[in-house]
Structure 1
Amino acid sequence: MNLPQNTSVDVLIVGAGPTGLALGIDLARRGVDALVVERGAALAAGSRGKGLQPRTLEVYEDLGVLDAILDAGGPYPVGALWTDGRQTGEHRLFDPVEESEEGCRFTVPWMVPQWRNQEILRARLEELGGTVAFGREVVGVDQDGEGVTARFASGEQIRARYAVAADGGRSTVRRALGIAMTGETVDPDPLLVADVRVPALDRNRWHVFPPGAGSPGYASLCPLAGTRDFQLVARFPAGTEIDPSPAGVRAAVAERTHLAAEDVTEVGWSSDFRPRAALADRFRQGRVFLAGDAAHIHSPAGGQGLNTSVQDAYNLGWKLGAVLGGRAPHTLLDTYEEERRPVAEHVLGLSTAIHRDQARRGAGTRQLGLHYRESSLSEETRPAPGALRAGDRVPDLTVDGVRLFDRLRGPHWTLLTLDDGVFLVRPDGHVGWAGESETGAAAYRERLGVREEPSLRAVARRV
């Protein structure tokens, strides 16, 4: 795709991973002229972040991709522990949860290889009229009071009113802005991660090979739902130079499991990985925002990185749409960092603790309890708040035959009347204002400068 010098868009999104694609979808359904650019010639390969947490599945339902995601994936299998070539036990990765315990259709993560997740998101973006321009490497950004100019390796430029860096942990845009990341090495032992075919191995279990006599380190082979592949994870001693070639991958399997090298019939994507945790010092500079791995890098142990990233996009999308559409002042955009950076910091701590076996994969990893109660957008006016408070995610409940999420779906504000109060719900499904009656809701919108009437009202008697 050629980009002439006079090309301009409302929002330039740098990076076509799950973060950039989800943001592109959210903006496209709001009528925002956005362009996603990707330095690669195609979507990134590999299973990478394969777990979608319950809250992300709720976001995907609103973005219109849930059915395709559910069709493409499956639940996580029970882990099978191996010792000396024999199955010696089982391991459940996630703590059990009762159905609807947290007001959600989903109780456990859903496995979809990241490459397939991205394909689904791209198809939805294009269905809405959005575009991904491949082979467009951003090498620098300049900005002024009116917008951002991005420069490509080709020498071309593009002008945007706002730009979003969703270009990963080594973000070129973040570096160009001079925004530092503060972090630590989570584990000195590097990992080899690869997508492999192993026909001889049962696909009903996640096969785990703890280190032991004769084994140089831990390994696991997880069957990737919706495919014929397994995701290999193999740990190496600190200082090891990992060989991600097909021969190196086969050797890692043979050294750590009862399988022979030739049992690995195909090796697809592979990568060496060093678990780190890092947080950008800020999530915004002028008209440029950081989202996803460009803003926070997680250990994969808790299955939090991709999910937190998609939820960054979900938080930023409605705010950009409201400002660009003239329905809110530009100060609304200040709340993106205010709300998302504390969440990212909390999730970083959780994922690091899980990696170090200091925490379990329980309610916190499902991300349903994350809230914005301390946000300047959250106004709780009731003297005695109930279970649902300003800043909270509205639960997915059916009340008197009405499914609340059916009322909330779409890019709009919603006024909910329930037996414990009245709630003005933001487009991302979080309560902005809560009161005992509708009195005060209009004043709240006026205080924020939100010039958008709630598009519908749902009335029910109980939560």
Structure 2
Amino acid sequence: MQQMSQLKTQPSLPRSTDNDVSPASVLIVGAGPAGLVLALALMKNGISVHVIDKAGKPCLGQRGAALMPRSLEVHELLGTLDDIQSLSTVLGPGRAYAVGGGSKVLKGFELFPYVEPTGAVSMPNPVILGHDTHTSILREHLARYGCHVEMSTELLSLEQHADGVRVCLSSEGRQMQTLFSYVVGTDGSRSTVRKQLGLSFLGETRSQGDWVVGDVYIDGLDPKFFHVWGEAASVMLVHRATERKGIFNFILAGDTLDHALLASSQEDLIEYFQTTTGRTDLQYGKFICVSHYKPNIRTVDEFGRGRVFVAGDAAHVHSPTGGQGMNSGILDSINLGWKLALSVKGIASKGLLESYNAERLPVIATMLQITTKIHGTMYKPGAQTASWDRSGSLHQLGVNYRGSPIVYHENPDKIDNANPYNPGSAAVLSAGDRAPDATGLQLLNGSGGSELRRLHQMLNPSRHTIFIFTTTPSDASAFADPALQYPSDAVRSVVIVPSANAPKFRNAGSVLSDVAVMEDLEESASGNYNITTATKAVVVRPDGFIGSIVEEAGSLQLYFECIFA
């Protein structure tokens, strides 16, 4: 990413009137999941945001309905997980039928084979939640912070200056110019922000794979199953139950699909559904939404310039067959959010915002390769069931930033940075990896109660958490004390001790009075973090990724020098 000095920026702006300067620090253009996740992450960091969307009302429909395990962990960070889980559903097993084959099942299959939870991964299974319900939850949580999406508001232009970004907005026929510290475009594949920045959108538009997608009421179809008639090599019709009773999402695709259907009336679509399913018992009702999709496989050459960034579909688009798009946008936003927050507060290192591009671009490039391969597999004859498996790396638990310029490796020669999407099952835990969860942790000091906790419950999107694995209070202090030089609301230390050493810490007095001490009752934390030495510190970033793993207290400073000014 280019430095500010290399950009064609204007001089500092005079701030002559209060009306000219927004009270918000960050403008977010686009109110889909990526934009709303970013807004919530910033608000939890104490950063004011202004969110706009040119649409007159929130978008309806199920698109991007599969929330992968890594996205669920982000929702736990943001405090939205309970609402997500209460309204989402689990995708049932698939049933494959012949075109016109009625209810005769040719074969059963699993899109998301069930995975048993472990101490390291407490939420290993995806859930299904429609785009409209998902964004509604995020808007409700934003409203608790006094942040409301301004609909029917469009970005017309932006101009970068040394101390901010001048934007021209249009709302209800009225134009206004305002200055923000930063601007982020999460405004979809036709992003105005991306075009204003002049970012290249590299890739291709596939002629193969036009789809008709939407949501419709269906009576008489078992909602416990994922129903697929035919295959994409000829004609394919998919019906999937949503979280709303009676409403099914549909996909109509195929190489021999009559493309006149792409502009058909709803009555013609219903007739085609009936012919394709061979089911005369299904009653089709009101259509909630219908849209047409042509596969684009594109990504930006850089995720931002100066004070302006892009995320989500504004930065990358691809086949939805892998269920990666919306989830990748969420990881874009949680990566950018804490870095923007420190920058607005004036305590970020010079290169921190540049690391957004350095970390996300390799991940997205790999993701495009994966989803493009899946898309191609779907259109091979005989791939009706084999092409639907969405397990493994598609859960995004292996996404990592091992090659990042801001993670610190004590022993860099031992690190394999080859695959930013999956470090491999045999890989040693490394800086840049997702921080594993752990169970059976109990507070030894303070007034937090005696209930058992998970390690992920101690993470926070507004601060770094240093987990100090040790057996003695003095060693714990040796790691905790250096952290005190950093902002107290941005860095927190948590000491984790084996049960055999817990008595030492109960009697430690004031040595660790300001640090939470947790007893590792089940040895889950020490096992998941490969603790084999007497003392080791693991720094977990606000986005839930490991910033550094060190055995020397002095090495903590080498990491934080990459983060703080």
TM-score by length of 2: 0.75
Percent sequence identity over matched residues?
Answer: 32
Match of 1:219 among 218, 237, 244: 237
Q: Does 1:176 align with 2:196?
A: yes
- Separation of aligned partners in 2, 1:171 and 1:264: 35
Counterpart position of 1:450:
564
Counterpart position of 1:374:
403
What amino acid does structure 1 have at the position aligned with 2:196? A
Q: Does 1:413 align with 2:464?
A: yes
Q: Return closer, same or farther for 1:229/1:368 CA change in 2, 3 Å cut-off.
A: same
Structure 1 residues 8-407: aligned runs within 5 Å:
8-83=23-98, 84-85=101-102, 86-100=104-118, 103-153=120-170, 154-186=174-206, 188-211=208-231, 217-236=235-254, 237=256, 240-241=259-260, 242-243=262-263, 245-260=265-280, 263-357=283-377, 360-382=389-411, 387-398=428-439, 400-401=441-442, 402-407=453-458
Q: Deviations over 1:143-173 (max 9, x none)?
A: 1111112222332222211000000011111
Q: Return closer, same or farther for 1:328/1:139 CA change in 2, 3 Å cut-off.
A: same
Q: CA deviation at 1:5?
A: 4.8
CA contact (8 A) 1:244 1:272 kept: no
Which portions of structure 1, spanning 4 or more consecutive aligned residues, are displaced by more than 4 angstroms?
A: 3-6, 382-386, 399-402
Q: Deviations over 1:350-373 (max 9, x none)?
A: 111122228752211000011111
Q: Return closer, same or farther for 1:262/1:449 CA change in 2, 3 Å cut-off.
A: closer
Q: Return closer, same or farther for 1:216/1:373 CA change in 2, 3 Å cut-off.
A: closer
- Separation of aligned partners in 2, 1:357 and 1:296: 21
Q: CA deviation at 1:136?
A: 0.2
CA contact (8 A) 1:206 1:223 kept: yes
- Separation of aligned partners in 1, 2:367 and 2:411: 30
Counterpart position of 1:455:
none
- Separation of aligned partners in 2, 1:216 and 1:350: 23
- Separation of aligned partners in 1, 2:195 and 2:409: 39
- Separation of aligned partners in 2, 1:250 and 1:117: 28
CA contact (8 A) 2:91 2:112 kept: no
Matched position secondary structure for 2:25: strand
Q: CA deviation at 1:246?
A: 2.1
Q: Return closer, same or farther for 1:66/1:176 CA change in 2, 3 Å cut-off.
A: same
- Separation of aligned partners in 2, 1:192 and 1:135: 26
Matched position secondary structure for 2:24: strand
Q: CA deviation at 1:329?
A: 2.9
Q: Return closer, same or farther for 1:449/1:263 CA change in 2, 3 Å cut-off.
A: closer
CA contact (8 A) 1:382 1:434 kept: no
**Which runs of 5 or more residues in structure 2 are unaligned?**
1-17, 379-386, 416-426, 443-452, 470-530
Q: Return closer, same or farther for 1:261/1:290 CA change in 2, 3 Å cut-off.
A: farther
Q: Does 1:437 align with 2:540?
A: no
* More moved, 350-359 vs 406-415: 350-359
Q: Deviations over 1:49-103 (max 9, x none)?
A: 10000000000011111110111111111111123212222121134534328x2
> Aligned-pair RMSD on alpha carbons?
2.4
CA contact (8 A) 2:218 2:248 kept: yes
Matched position secondary structure for 1:406: helix
Q: Return closer, same or farther for 1:425/1:216 CA change in 2, 3 Å cut-off.
A: closer
TM-score by length of 1: 0.90
* More moved, 238-247 vs 330-339: 238-247
Q: CA deviation at 1:388?
A: 2.0
Matched position secondary structure for 1:448: coil
**Which runs of 5 or more residues in structure 1 are unaligned?**
452-463
Matched position secondary structure for 1:70: helix
Q: Deviations over 1:176-197 (max 9, x none)?
A: 2221211123561310001011
Q: Return closer, same or farther for 1:248/1:121 CA change in 2, 3 Å cut-off.
A: farther
- Separation of aligned partners in 2, 1:306 and 1:427: 20
Q: Deviations over 1:106-148 (max 9, x none)?
A: 2221000111000001001111222211110112211111111
Q: Deviations over 1:253-307 (max 9, x none)?
A: 1231123598211111110001221111111122110100000002111100000
- Separation of aligned partners in 1, 2:280 and 2:19: 54
Q: Return closer, same or farther for 1:370/1:292 CA change in 2, 3 Å cut-off.
A: same
What amino acid does structure 2 have at the position aligned with 1:109? P
Q: Return closer, same or farther for 1:314/1:245 CA change in 2, 3 Å cut-off.
A: farther
- Separation of aligned partners in 2, 1:377 and 1:239: 51
CA contact (8 A) 1:186 1:352 kept: no
- Separation of aligned partners in 1, 2:347 and 2:539: 16
Q: Return closer, same or farther for 1:293/1:185 CA change in 2, 3 Å cut-off.
A: same
Q: Deviations over 1:417-448 (max 9, x none)?
A: 23343112211111112111323102331x22
CA contact (8 A) 1:24 1:36 kept: yes
Q: Return closer, same or farther for 1:187/1:73 CA change in 2, 3 Å cut-off.
A: farther
Q: Return closer, same or farther for 1:162/1:388 CA change in 2, 3 Å cut-off.
A: same
Q: CA deviation at 1:403?
A: 1.9
What amino acid does structure 2 have at the position aligned with 1:72? L
Q: Return closer, same or farther for 1:252/1:183 CA change in 2, 3 Å cut-off.
A: farther
- Separation of aligned partners in 2, 1:40 and 1:135: 5
- Separation of aligned partners in 1, 2:460 and 2:163: 33
* More moved, 258-267 vs 427-436: 258-267
- Separation of aligned partners in 2, 1:338 and 1:211: 39
